[in-house]
Structure 1
Amino acid sequence: MRLFRFLFTVFHFTVVALLAGTALNAYVPPKVFAWMNMLSLAFPFLLIIHTVLCMMWLVLWKKRAFIFLAATLLFYYPAKRWINFTAPAEGEVADFKVLTMNIKGAAYGKETLYSYLKNSNADVILVQEYAKNLKNTDYPNTVQSYSIVGLASKTKVIEHQRIETSSNGESFYADIEIKGRTVRFINMYLNPFAFDKNKVKPSEDYEKNKRKVRYIAGTLIPTFKIHQDEVAAIRKAVLDSPYPVVLAGDFNAVPSSYEYYQLSDVLHDAFLTAGNGLSTSFHDYKFPIRIDYIFSSKDLKPISYWVDRHEKMSDHYPVIATFKFEK
């Protein structure tokens, strides 16, 4: 029994160390050590294991339970990026509503998708992987000059411009007039991973699984390095903006990743202020993850934030937030 407890204690300390290691993504770029960014993908699994082990120590009534429970405080804020509970903003009236969605080229059905977008009542809609047919939303102002990302707005689009990146991702900003003010919306789609599902499904064959692990690492690591350059360009666009900023889109990166830390350093994740429940938006694999976000500058107060999972219109669910201008 002592050996059992000793081994589980060592294992638990290892889990805690790995969880703590995800925070290093705030400082270690993928081009320096990309494997650190891979650790961010394991964060929810590691947190679940940590929670189960804490419960086990409590049941066994071991003092070490309180050490591990105290360590849990280190992961409070990282966990909030995945699951959060906030009180409703009583008496707060939003000035505008934003919807972002990777629509996967309307491959799940155009009629249902565009009817949903049209009836969403969002002031600004940002889409990724679109098929240049935003006119179907009946919004009076659209940006359809780019191959992967597009925008529809109820109000005037003053100007828009591509954010230059040398990758298969694409981003642009659009300055939009809302209630007599100008807000810069950045629609972001970071370079995709483009996994072949058949190559990532676990197998009973050990050698096949080894090849699949090499395939996954060989896909993730180069993409993380591309993301580093893309995020640098987008950070610059945020910092150079003369207007309040809303950044939304498909980051192709989870919370606790280098990409998330870099962007949350200059903008605020609206889910942390106004979100409730799970923030996961991509449900195409067995374990849902969060890769779609809405961030904002301090001039804009998030009033509400939710992921609409009522109907599957893509492999991503729409993410919606409302904002109020800070006086």
Structure 2
Amino acid sequence: MKIFRLILLIVHLGILFLLLGTLMNAYIPPKIFPWFNLLSLGFPVLIISYCILTIFWVASWKKRAFVFMFAGLAFINPVKRWVNFSEDKKGAPAIKVVSFNIKGGVMGQKDIEQYLKAQDADVILLQEDGGREFPVLKDYKRTAPNGYLSILTKHKILNDKIIYASDEGEGVPGGLQADIEIRGKVYKFLNVYLYPFKFEKDMVRLNGNTDDNEQKLKDVVKRLIPTFKKHQGQVDAIHTITVNSPYPVILTGDFNSVPNSYEYYHLSEGLEDAFVTAGKGSATSFHDYKFPIRIDYVFSSKPIRAVSYVVDRSVSISDHYPVISELSLTGK
């Protein structure tokens, strides 16, 4: 029994070490050391394993349980970025914002249009829009089509501009910015779509063949690491616009990155995560794989504050669920 507990202790310490590694994403960029960012993908499995082992030590009446419980406090906020139970918020009249990766409309263009029309949102931010037209949304003003990102709004668009990574030139856009006038004030909306990993289900589906699974794992890592590095350039360009904005910022989109990643830490710097502020339950927004993945977000700067945040799982018209948030512009 002592040997068994010793093995569990070593495993528990190893998991703690890996969890602490995910916190390093706030400080170390992927171009220097991408492996910390890789750890963020496994955060749900790591934290669940950590909690189970901590419960085991508590049930065993071991003093080390208190050490692991104390160390676990460092991961309260990281956990809340995945699963949260906030209180109902009361605020001044809010604007409704919808962020949705529509996958080019291939799963039902008409269904998507009708859904967006029914939401009656103030601002709609679309990723992977494929440059499609939205005739049903004729009452909305729209940014110039570019094939990747669109912002539609009932309010006045003062200007819009594609955001490219400084080291990529006119490559795949990392985001789209638009200054929108709402009730006499100007707000900068940023619609983010970081470089995709371009995985197919067969590439990540494991089978009973050990050699095949090992090769799949290597292929996945080979694709992840270069993409993390591409993200860094895109994140830097978007972050520069955010911190230098003369207007309050509302940043949404498909980060192709999970919470506690480098992308999350740096894109959210100085902003509030609407899910952490007003969300309830799971924030999982990508449902094509049978694994909890949150890659769609809504952030805002002061004095804006989230009143509500919902991942709408009532529709399956894309491989992403729409993310809907109501934001109080007064911050009360």
Name the TM-score, length of structure 2 as normaliser.
0.95
**How many Å separate the matches in 1 of 2:83 and 2:264?**
16
Is 2:101–2:128's contact at 8 Å kept on the other side of the alignment? yes
Report the alpha carbon displacement of residue 145 of structure 1 after superposing the two structures with TM: 2.3
Is 1:235–1:266's contact at 8 Å kept on the other side of the alignment? no
Is 1:148–1:170's contact at 8 Å kept on the other side of the alignment? no
Deviations along 1:20-57, one digit per CA (max 9) or x if unpaired, are 11000011110001111100101111001011111222
Residue aligning to 1:58:
58
Amino acid at match of 2:278: A
Report the alpha carbon displacement of residue 140 of structure 1 after superposing the two structures with TM: 2.6
Residue aligning to 1:126:
125
Structural mapping, 1:66-85, within 5 Å: 66-85=66-85
Amino acid at match of 1:206: T
Residue aligning to 1:278:
282
Deviations along 1:126-173, one digit per CA (max 9) or x if unpaired, are 000113223332333112421100111011111111112224343111
In structure 1, list runs of 5 or more residues that go unmatched. none
**How many Å separate the matches in 2 of 1:140 and 1:147?**
18
Q: What is the aligned length?
A: 326
Residue aligning to 1:15:
15
| DSSP 3-state at the match of 1:30 | coil
**How many Å separate the matches in 2 of 1:17 and 1:125?**
41
In the alignment, does 2:310 pair up with 1:311? no
Of 189, 214, 218, the residue aligned with 1:185 is 189
Is 2:142–2:151's contact at 8 Å kept on the other side of the alignment? yes
Report the alpha carbon displacement of residue 240 of structure 1 after superposing the two structures with TM: 2.1
Sequence identity (%): 45
Structural mapping, 1:139-150, within 5 Å: 139-150=139-150
Residue aligning to 1:94:
93
| DSSP 3-state at the match of 1:147 | coil
In the alignment, does 2:286 pair up with 1:287? no
Residue aligning to 2:24:
24
**How many Å separate the matches in 2 of 1:164 and 1:16?**
37
Amino acid at match of 1:189: Y
Amino acid at match of 1:42: G
Task: Give the alignment's Cα RMSD to 1 decimal.
Answer: 1.3
- 1:218–1:139: structure 2 CA closer, same or farther, 3 Å change rule? farther
Amino acid at match of 2:77: Y
In the alignment, does 2:203 pair up with 1:199? yes
Residue aligning to 1:269:
273
In the alignment, does 2:37 pair up with 1:37? yes
**How many Å separate the matches in 2 of 1:170 and 1:7?**
45
Is 2:164–2:172's contact at 8 Å kept on the other side of the alignment? no
- 1:135–1:183: structure 2 CA closer, same or farther, 3 Å change rule? farther
Of 178, 181, 192, the residue aligned with 1:174 is 178
**How many Å separate the matches in 1 of 2:72 and 2:274?**
23
**How many Å separate the matches in 2 of 1:19 and 1:94?**
40
Amino acid at match of 1:263: L
- 1:160–1:14: structure 2 CA closer, same or farther, 3 Å change rule? same
In structure 2, list runs of 5 or more residues that go unmatched. none
Residue aligning to 2:241:
237
Deviations along 1:249-307, one digit per CA (max 9) or x if unpaired, are 00000001001111121322111111111111001101020000001111211111111
Amino acid at match of 1:183: Y
| DSSP 3-state at the match of 2:239 | helix
